[in-house]
Amino acid sequence: MGINPFIPKATTTIENVISAYLGSLESRGASSHYHISRVLTKAMQHFGKDTNASEISPAMVCDFLGSIYSRGSEAMADRAHSILKACFNHSIKSPYNYRTKAFAVNGITSNPLDMVPADRKASSHVCNRFLTKEELSSFLVRLENDSEHPASKILRLCVLIGSRLIESASLKVSSYNPETKVLKWETTKTGVPHQICVNDYIHSLMMEWIKGKEQNDFIFPSMKNSMLHTSVDTVQKYFDRLGFKDCTSRDACRRTFKVWIQSCAVSKELADRLQNHSDRSVSSRHYDRHFMCEDGMKEMQNAFDRWVSFLNSLSKFSMVA
């Protein structure tokens, strides 16, 4: 069988390969788009944007990864390895994807990363970063002191409810029901709808943020175009300026939430439910149904009450409205 005839052929420079992969990520709203684009841009500069992608050898890849590793960034080098491997795999497989006509780059038949071993020791530490109590306190103070910036609002919501960045950034006014205090997402990373019931403090913030907006308006509109929501790139750049070493916005919000909320007498099962972690087991589905009832919603509110109290205890700036 040949390559999907409905997909137009494209040139195979490394610039084309990277652009196609980033386009694929952006089209599905991947929250990692900003971080991945930074790594791939550096790789493209290293290889030369007009270099034929099929000519990228394992030795050239090693040279690029070695330049990162030699700076003492073992975890970052391993992360770059994973990103490059995914990028080349996309180029190899996308021409055969009958479900889409976009982002295909033909001509790549082998992945140079297959010959370059991953650093398993470094990768075991990649997901361990979260904010200490002192860092979390500093983070909250900085967000409080710049409370009108849309990126600050989004990060504040993320650390309060443990949500994914893109899912908070893209919220519309219609996503929140003030009467029931239910925040709902029709689509999520897990592919299923998700809803949580917030406490009085988070409710007060939501009411402040949706005030004067129409149902179809974004809660956190872009400062340049109110018809768009504040982009994940904007939030990531804002977070980077805060200066937390070796830390991403995901570490500071979602992972930190998961680590510390369990110190507030909140069970792992409830924390997973609040964060919409993907677990489609039979027991999980029954647990999901529990949270659709009144008692389940009250249990969520109580968890958020304990979480907000914990955050208040860390900072001299009270989070109580």
**Mean pLDDT in order along the chain per 10 residues (321 residues):** 47 87 79 82 94 92 93 84 93 78 64 88 63 93 92 96 92 95 84 87 96 94 91 90 87 93 90 77 49 77 95 68 44
The residue to which tokens 């109110």 are assigned: 226
Q: In the prediction, which pLDDT does 235 show?
A: 92
Residue-range domains of the chain with CATH: 14-126 (1.10.150), 133-314 (1.10.443.10)
The pLDDT score that the predictor gives to residue 7 is: 45
Question: How far is the CA of 178 from the CAs of 84, 112, 295, in angstroms?
Answer: 44, 53, 18
**pLDDT in the model for residue 138:** 93
Paired strand residues for 218: 172
pLDDT at res. 141: 92
pLDDT number for residue 283: 45
Q: Are 41 and 120 in contact (CB under 8 A)?
A: no
pLDDT on residue 278: 61
Assess contact for 87 and 108: CB atoms under 8 A.
no
Tokens found for residue 44? 């493209």
Q: What is the pLDDT of residue 100?
A: 67
Point out which residues pair with 182 in neighbouring strands. Answer: 177, 197
Q: Strand pairing partners for 196?
A: 183
- The model carries a pTM of 0.68
Q: How far apart are CA 229 and CA 172, in angstroms?
A: 9
Residues 193 and 186 sit within 8 Å (Cβ to Cβ) = yes
Integer CA distances (angstroms), 247 to 78, 126, 252, in order = 15, 10, 7
pLDDT for 1: 42
Residue with tokens 């809803």: 195
* Pair of tokens at residue 311: 């955050």
What's residue 123's pLDDT?
55
302 vs 116: CA distance, rounded Å: 49
Residue 155 burial (10 A CB sphere; 0-12, 13-18, 19+): buried
**What pLDDT score does 250 carry?**
87
